[in-house]
């Protein structure tokens, strides 16, 4: 949620920062801005995409080797030029960019106004930079010390970068509950919400922890303290990430590229973790805490959005294969309903970014209650990865499209391996069954490739149904969460209202909506409920609903009565979501393209929700 870029070194900062903002634009695209220090603070801000900011910057002299930039997803204050970051202090000495929410900004603002401060914007961020500048002025303090003291008065979440007109040789960054990473180059330093802005310049990074402040000096290098003024040694990591992963690679949109990457990303999620030949299923995080897992009273999965749907599939997998009770909770609700937790529980967090604010807060609560916490994330070095007792990366690489695709299948793949690992340890399936499951799981990437070959057929179906204002998605068993995910994808990127339902629940309300103007997308690949699904389809057809059915190759009954069918290879039922979700991703994508939507950057959404 919002993207931060900063640079200090010997090169011109403006182009480095603008390019960095373009790579971070998936985090927010309501407005953007840049501040360059070269004697004076040169600040340019513009509502809209980074391209609009670039056009303005190109018309001005923005030479300078120290600067910060920001691309915004609006929280406090509507998206406009004034509310865009960076914001200046009351005397114009400091410039600051911020991701997060300062919860007590109202109290701070009133106190500052009583001292004569005036504010131009509606943002909490402007209050913070005024506060830092006031503390700096009163105590004649260094920028680092003023930031530290100010943050001790702040309640909420933040990642910030600050520069000082009176000190052109220092860049200060800090974080709490919102990501910030420092890139270390040759006589130059970078700062970013993630590493993508500077990946082509350095792969050496330091991920800041909560309550840490990074003071980056041209002459003294990087020093880290916490808000208690204790020096913290930086932990430098070398990223294993290629710049090509951040490019579209010939695809029209990142989302389409990421859909087509899934055969490989599923392989990457399985690599080194399963072998049907050896009967091997291995997740290091599970092995390290095997006793806790096999003795668990229950497993609670917490997540938001698409990750919540992955968690629902995880519930089916773990209960079906390992016979451990599982509950799946929206992280935002879990933390506020006084949940019952004890030391015998395991809480699993799912998050692509590893920075989702509500999920992090849910984990903190679980940790306080003594439960073991386990993370399944994509982003290396993320907050959830560092907070949890153990966990697993899904190894999907950067996901730039706001609507999650490959992260969903990556999470489901890791949850499948987790369920099989627990089933093996608890002997709830035989070795013969385990090897059969592993053989089939190893075939999934090639079967996904087969589904992707249906792209042109799915595009045709999208053209046929694109003008409908509503859609209903139905599924049973393992494919009910897939129906929820398909409906979410359509809403996210095409702005078409859609609902996902258990197919049997259609008769308990949604059937009243069905007519010739209601496309009904049915997941019909479950052998265990096949006859029931056929009956559901007949009920829709009887009311003139338009049926698009996802069926196994060679299916006969539904194919005779549906308006459109999309055939996918058959697989073992626990693995069917990994295949049935692919047509839904493509269908949503093509409908959105047909409607002229901005597929990678849908309105009002940002990739990583790091504020509550």
**pLDDT tens-digit readout, 512-555:** 888 888 899 999 998 888 888 888 888 888 888 899 999 999 98
3-state secondary structure 172-213: EEEEECCCCEEEECCCCEEEECCCHHHCCCCCEEEECCCCEE
Tokens of 230: 């204790």
Paired residues of 189 in beta bridges:
8, 184
Q: Which of 401, 410, 417, 343 is closest to 377 using CA atoms?
A: 410
Residue 346 near residue 292 (C-beta atoms within 8 A): yes
Cα 148 from Cα 141, distance rounded (Å) = 11
pTM of the model: 0.86
Out of 2, 225, 304, 396, the active site residue is: 2
In this predicted structure, what is the pLDDT of residue 611?
A: 53
In this predicted structure, what is the pLDDT of residue 484?
A: 97
Cα 333 from Cα 302, distance rounded (Å) = 9
Q: Which of 418, 419, 407, 413 is closest to 441 using CA atoms?
A: 413
Cα 166 from Cα 135, distance rounded (Å) = 15
Q: What's the CATH fold of domain 3-245?
A: 3.60.20
Is residue 2 annotated as a catalytic residue, yes or no? yes
In this predicted structure, what is the pLDDT of residue 242?
A: 66
Q: Which parts of the chain sit beneath pLDDT 70? A: 1, 241-245, 606-612
In this predicted structure, what is the pLDDT of residue 612?
A: 54
Question: Strand, coil or helix: what is 40?
Answer: strand
In degrees and rounded to multiples of 5, residue 138 shows phi and psi of -60, -40
Residue 597 near residue 401 (C-beta atoms within 8 A): no
In this predicted structure, what is the pLDDT of residue 312?
A: 98
What is the bridge-based pairing of β-strands 326-330 and 298-303? parallel
In this predicted structure, what is the pLDDT of residue 424?
A: 96
In this predicted structure, what is the pLDDT of residue 357?
A: 84
Angle at 78 between CA 77 and CA 84, to 5 degrees: 80
Q: What's the CATH fold of domain 453-605?
A: Rossmann fold (3.40.50)
Cα 357 from Cα 361, distance rounded (Å) = 6
- What average pLDDT does the structure give for the chain? 93
Q: Which residue has the tokens 């359509």?
A: 490
Is residue 257 annotated as a catalytic residue, yes or no? no
In this predicted structure, what is the pLDDT of residue 535?
A: 86
In this predicted structure, what is the pLDDT of residue 1?
A: 66
Q: Which of 79, 101, 124, 174 is closest to 611 using CA atoms?
A: 101
Query: Helix, strand, coil % (nearest 5) of the chain?
Result: 40, 25, 35
Q: Which of 41, 40, 50 is closest to 18 using CA atoms?
A: 50
Using CA atoms, how far residue 424 sits from 296, 318, 432, in Å, is: 15, 12, 11
In this predicted structure, what is the pLDDT of residue 512?
A: 83
Question: Strand, coil or helix: what is 74?
Answer: coil
Using CA atoms, how far residue 576 sits from 1, 481, 534, in Å, is: 33, 11, 18
Q: Does domain 248-451 have CATH number 3.40.50.10490?
A: yes
Using CA atoms, how far residue 355 sits from 175, 335, 534, in Å, is: 12, 16, 42
Cα 425 from Cα 293, distance rounded (Å) = 9
In this predicted structure, what is the pLDDT of residue 338?
A: 83
Question: Could you tell me which residues come within 8 angstroms of residue 397 by beta carbon, excluding any fewer than 6 positions away?
Answer: 241, 245, 261, 265, 268, 378, 406
What's the gap between Cα 423 and its chain centre?
Answer: 29
Tokens of 94: 């400091």
**How do the domains of the chain map onto residue ranges?**
3-245, 248-451, 453-605
Domains 3-245 and 248-451 share a fold: no
The CA-to-CA distance between both ends of the chain, in Å, stands at 10
């Amino acid at each position: 949620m919002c993207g931060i870029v900063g640079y200090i070194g010997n090169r011109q900062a403006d182009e480095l920062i603008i390019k960095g903002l373009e790579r971070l634009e998936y985090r927010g695209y309501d407005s953007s801005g840049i501040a360059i220090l070269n004697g004076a603070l040169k600040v340019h801000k513009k509502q809209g995409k980074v391209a609009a900011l670039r056009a303005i910057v190109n018309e001005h002299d923005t030479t300078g080797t120290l600067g910060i930039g920001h691309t915004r997803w609006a929280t406090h204050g509507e998206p406009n030029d004034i509310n865009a970051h960076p914001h200046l202090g009351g005397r114009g000495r400091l410039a600051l960019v911020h991701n997060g929410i300062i919860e007590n900004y109202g109290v701070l603002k009133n106190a500052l106004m009583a001292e004569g401060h005036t504010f131009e914007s509606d943002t909490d961020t402007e209050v913070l930079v005024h506060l830092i500048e006031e503390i700096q002025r009163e105590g004649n303090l260094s920028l680092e010390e003023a930031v530290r003291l100010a943050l001790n008065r702040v309640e909420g979440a933040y990642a910030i970068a600050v520069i000082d007109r009176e000190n052109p040789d220092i860049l200060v960054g800090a974080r709490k509950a919102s990501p910030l990473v420092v890139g270390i180059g040759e006589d130059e330093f970078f700062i970013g919400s993630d590493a993508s802005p500077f990946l082509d310049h350095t792969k050496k990074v330091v991920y800041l922890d909560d309550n840490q402040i990074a003071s980056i000096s041209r002459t003294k290098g990087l020093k880290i303290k916490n808000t208690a003024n204790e020096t913290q040694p930086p932990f430098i990591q070398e990223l294993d990430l290629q710049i090509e992963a951040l490019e579209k690679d010939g695809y029209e949109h990142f989302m389409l590229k990421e859909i087509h990457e899934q055969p490989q990303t599923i392989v990457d999620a399985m690599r080194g973790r399963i072998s049907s030949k050896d009967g091997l299923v291995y997740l290091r995080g599970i092995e390290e805490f095997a006793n806790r897992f096999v003795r668990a009273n229950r497993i609670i999965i917490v997540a938001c959005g698409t990750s919540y749907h992955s968690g629902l599939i995880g519930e089916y997998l773990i209960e079906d294969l390992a016979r451990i009770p599982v509950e799946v909770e929206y992280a935002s609700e879990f933390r506020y309903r006084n949940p019952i937790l004890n030391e015998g529980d395991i809480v699993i967090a799912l998050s692509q970014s590893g920075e989702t604010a509500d999920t992090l807060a849910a984990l903190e609560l679980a940790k306080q209650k003594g439960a073991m916490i386990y993370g399944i994330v994509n982003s290396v070095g993320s907050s959830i990865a560092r907070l949890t007792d153990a966990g697993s990366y899904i190894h999907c690489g950067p996901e730039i499209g706001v609507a999650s695709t490959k992260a969903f299948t990556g999470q489901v793949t890791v949850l499948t391996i987790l369920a099989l690992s627990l089933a093996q340890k608890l002997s709830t399936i035989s070795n013969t069954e385990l090897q059969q499951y592993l053989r089939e799981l190893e075939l999934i990437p090639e079967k996904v490739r087969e589904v992707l070959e249906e792209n042109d057929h799915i595009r045709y179906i999208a053209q046929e149904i694109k003008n409908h204002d509503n859609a209903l998605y139905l599924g049973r068993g393992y494919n009910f969460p897939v129906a929820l995910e398909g409906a979410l994808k359509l809403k996210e990127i095409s702005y078409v209202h859609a609902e996902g339902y258990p197919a049997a629940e259609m008769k308990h309300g949604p059937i009243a909506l069905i007519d010739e103007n209601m496309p009904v997308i049915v997941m019909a690949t479950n052998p265990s409920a096949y006859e029931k699904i056929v009956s559901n389809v007949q009920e829709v057809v009887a009311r003139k609903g338009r049926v698009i059915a996802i069926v196994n190759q060679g299916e006969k009954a539904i194919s005779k009565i549906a308006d459109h069918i999309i055939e996918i290879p058959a697989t073992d039922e626990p693995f069917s979501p990994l295949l049935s979700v692919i047509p839904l991703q493509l269908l949503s994508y093509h409908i959105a393209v047909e409607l002229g939507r901005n597929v990678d950057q849908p309105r009002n959404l940002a990739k990583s929700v790091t504020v509550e």
